[in-house]
């Protein structure tokens, strides 16, 4: 009878967990559904593979011809399959991005539960991840599934490493598979190796090993992942991929690391729209900046005080360390965006769950009211910011589609061999340009000067060149040369020699 009761209780827990997971997925879809049909713009075009141009599965062993400096075959193959059947309709790409965001929140929920915390704390941590304003770009762009996949596989790796009780060999096979999948997702998957070293060292010390033995265990137990990392770089070398990316993504060790670290941490703990904060910064709106700093610091202090009260400081320090490691290797770039903070958000959300759990469940009633007010402010700020930023991304996608439609009309009567040059004369008129959100109309086509873009134009016998440096001296003259610019959303001829 007792055994039957235990089985019944276990079944109820499983059913409850399913409903919680379903709630996370549904909530994520509701928040992002307005953008589920968003079109391609800016660097989305580098992840578009026209039917018949390349063997999509060759991305496992050859360079993406439209973005030759990176190796990200998993998302590329998924995108390519969707594009093979549905062309420029990105619905299934957006749907997968949204589902991945929800799935990651489910992994966060499980992780918090395994840290011996209650369901309320686990739900709070997952909810904060779902609504985080800093995750909007990754969840809504057509080219950022790579970041989500690397984040998911890194979290699953940590979960298996820390909590799995499977036999040693089977556990190693699962961990190696997850690490390889992370490497096939994006270069940020490399952060899993130092993450494994740190966690194995910490677990060894927790079990009573000396410092030296902890180091030995970390090196010895991560040897399979070190070998896989070496194989990964050999494959990159074989494919002719550069060690570092081009332009602003070149790696270096200097003040850029400190600056990038500060920017990424702020992007994670900030609850205001990053676009509004950027505006306030460049326009020297000190009143707005003061509010931003005060609210973010106050919330962080409020949470960390809760962490101290429940005596989970050591776990919080480990989570902070994992946050910093998750920025690797992108923290070494000359410039970063909030996209690269995505992999750190799960650790921050778990820490928030620990701290807020104290205020909600272990403090006096009057303090619970304060906590509910703080939590309400966090949710309100992030949801409003999320929707505002989603609207800006959608506007950019619509602008790009409008320009593409105009280009199709312009090229309809043009002969083969026609070259279209787009000059960005709006650049100086846009007072504040910020990342993926605020850009000129011409910038929405900035990465369209690749062969895949011709699919959008319906012509493969013409050329499209985006004049990045606005250097008109590089534009030739001739009958089949069409220089264009954008004025108030419309493509108009650009006079080279007025």
Share of the chain above pLDDT 70, in %: 92
User: End of a domain among 363, 392, 421?
Assistant: 392
What is the number of other CB atoms lying within 10 angstroms of the CB of residue 52? 8
- Quick check: 104 and 129 in contact, CB under 8 A? yes
Q: What is the DSSP letter of 486?
A: E
Instruction: Please give the helix or strand (H or E) that residue 466 lies within, else none.
Output: strand 463-467
* Strands 490-493 vs 481-487: parallel, antiparallel or unpaired: antiparallel
Q: Are residues 243 and 331 in the same domain?
A: yes
In whole angstroms, what is the distance from residue 482 CA to residue 493 CA? 7
368 and 434, same domain (yes or no): no
- Residue 291's domain spans which residues? 16-392
Among the listed residues 444, 384, 389, the one whose alpha carbon sits nearest the alpha carbon of residue 138 = 389
Percentage above 90 pLDDT, the chain: 58
194 in any annotated domain: yes
Choose one of 351, 371, 392: the last residue of a domain.
392
Structural domain total, the chain = 2
Q: Are residues 333 and 436 in the same domain?
A: no
At 246 the pLDDT is 43
Alpha carbons within 13 A on the beta-carbon side of 492: 8
What are 187's two structure tokens? Answer: 């270069």
77 or 361: which leads in pLDDT: 77
Q: Is residue 9 a part of any domain in this protein?
A: no
pLDDT of residue 8: 55
β-pairing, 490-493 vs 463-467, is: unpaired
Helices (H) and strands (E) in the chain, counts: 17, 4
pLDDT at 433 over 70: no
pLDDT at residue 31 greater than cutoff 50 = yes
Taking residues 441-458, what's their average pLDDT? Answer: 87
Q: Are residues 128 and 233 in the same domain?
A: yes
Q: Taking Cα atoms as reference points, which of 111, 192, 89 lies closest to residue 456?
A: 89
Instruction: Report if residue 3 sits inside a domain.
Output: no
**Where among 329, 358, 392 does a domain terminate?**
392
| Pair 81, 201 in one domain | yes
Residue 379 in domain: yes
- Asked if 131 and 279 sit in the same domain, the reply is yes
**Has residue 153 got a pLDDT over 50?**
yes
Helix (H, G, I), strand (E, B) or coil at 422: strand
Cα separation values, 336 from 91, 340, 341, 372, 373, Å: 28, 7, 9, 34, 33
Let me know: does 389 contact 278? Beta carbons within 8 Å: no
Asked if residue 2 belongs to a domain, the reply is no
Least confident of 23-27, 146-150, 462-466: 462-466
pLDDT at 150 over 70: yes
From CA 225, how far away is CA 39, in angstroms rounded?
A: 38
In a domain, 11, yes or no: no
pTM: 0.92
What is the SS3 assignment for 363? coil
At 162 the pLDDT is: 94
Residues 444 and 379 in one domain: no
Q: Please check whether residue 1 lies inside any domain of the structure.
A: no
Q: How confident is the model at residue 3 (pLDDT cuts 50, 70, 90)?
A: low
One domain for residues 360 and 301 = yes
Q: Encoding tokens for residue 463?
A: 């050329």
Q: Which helix (H) or strand (E) holds 387?
A: helix 365-411
Whether residues 91 and 226 share a domain: the answer is yes
In the prediction, which pLDDT does 138 show? 93
Calpha distance 105→127 (Å, rounded): 7
- Is residue 158 domain-resident? yes
**Residues 55, 94 within the same domain:** yes
In angstroms, the CA 182 to CA 191 distance is 9
Instruction: For residues 34 and 159, state if they share a domain.
Output: yes
Q: What is the mean pLDDT of residues 471-488?
A: 83
DSSP-assigned states of every residue in 241-289:
--SS-SGGG-B--SHHHHHHHHHHHHHHH--S-HHHHHHHHHTT-HHHH
Sheet of 419-423: strands edge to edge?
463-467, 419-423, 481-487, 490-493
What DSSP string describes 73-131? HHHHHHHHHHHHHHTT--HHHHHHHHHHHHHHHHHHHHHHHHTT--HHHHHHHHHHHHH
Residue 156 and residue 84 in one domain:
yes
């Amino acid at each position: 009878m007792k055994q039957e009761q235990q089985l019944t209780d276990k079944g109820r827990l499983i059913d409850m967990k399913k409903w919680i997971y379903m709630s996370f997925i549904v909530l994520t879809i509701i928040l992002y559904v307005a953008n589920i049909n968003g079109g391609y713009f800016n660097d989305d075009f580098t992840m578009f593979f026209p039917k018949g141009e390349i063997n999509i599965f060759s991305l496992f062993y050859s360079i993406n011809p439209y973005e030759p400096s990176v190796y990200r075959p998993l998302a590329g193959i998924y995108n390519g399959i969707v594009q093979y059947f549905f062309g420029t309709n990105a619905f299934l790409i957006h749907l997968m991005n949204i589902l991945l965001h929800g799935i990651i929140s489910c992994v966060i929920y499980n992780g918090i539960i395994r840290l011996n915390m209650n369901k309320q704390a686990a739900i709070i941590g997952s909810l904060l991840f779902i609504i985080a304003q800093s995750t909007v770009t990754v969840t809504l762009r057509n080219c950022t599934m790579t970041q989500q996949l690397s984040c998911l596989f890194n979290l699953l790796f940590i979960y298996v490493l820390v909590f799995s009780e499977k036999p040693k060999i089977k556990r190693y096979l699962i961990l190696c598979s997850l690490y390889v999948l992370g490497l096939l997702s994006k270069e940020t998957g490399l952060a899993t190796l130092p993450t494994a070293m740190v966690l194995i060292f910490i677990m060894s010390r927790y079990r009573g090993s000396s410092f030296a033995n902890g180091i030995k265990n970390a090196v010895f137990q991560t040897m399979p992942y070190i070998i896989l990392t070496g194989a990964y770089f050999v494959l990159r070398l074989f494919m002719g991929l550069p060690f570092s990316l081009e332009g602003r993504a070149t790696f270096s060790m200097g003040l850029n690391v400190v600056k990038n670290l500060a920017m990424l941490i702020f992007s994670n703990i900030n609850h205001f729209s990053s676009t509004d904060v950027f505006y306030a910064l460049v326009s020297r709106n000190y009143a707005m900046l003061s509010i931003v700093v005060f609210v973010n610091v106050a919330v962080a202090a409020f949470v960390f005080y809760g962490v101290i009260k429940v005596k989970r400081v050591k776990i919080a320090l480990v989570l902070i360390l994992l946050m910093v490691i998750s920025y690797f290797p992108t923290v070494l770039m000359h410039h970063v965006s909030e996209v690269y903070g995505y992999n750190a958000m799960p650790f921050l959300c778990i820490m928030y769950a620990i701290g807020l759990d104290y205020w909600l469940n272990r403090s006096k009633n009057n303090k619970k009211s304060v906590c509910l007010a703080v939590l309400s402010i966090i949710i309100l700020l992030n949801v409003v910011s999320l929707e505002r930023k989603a609207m800006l991304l959608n506007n950019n996608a619509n602008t790009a589609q409008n320009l593409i439609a105009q280009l199709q009309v312009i090229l309809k009567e043009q002969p083969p061999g026609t070259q279209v040059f787009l000059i960005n004369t709006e650049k100086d008129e846009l007072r504040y340009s910020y990342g993926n959100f605020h850009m000129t109309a011409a910038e929405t086509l900035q990465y369209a000067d690749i062969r895949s873009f011709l699919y959008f134009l319906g012509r493969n016998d013409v050329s499209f060149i985006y004049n990045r440096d606005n250097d008109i001296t590089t534009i030739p003259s001739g009958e089949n040369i069409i220089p264009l610019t954008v004025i108030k959303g419309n493509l108009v001829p650009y006079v080279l020699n007025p």
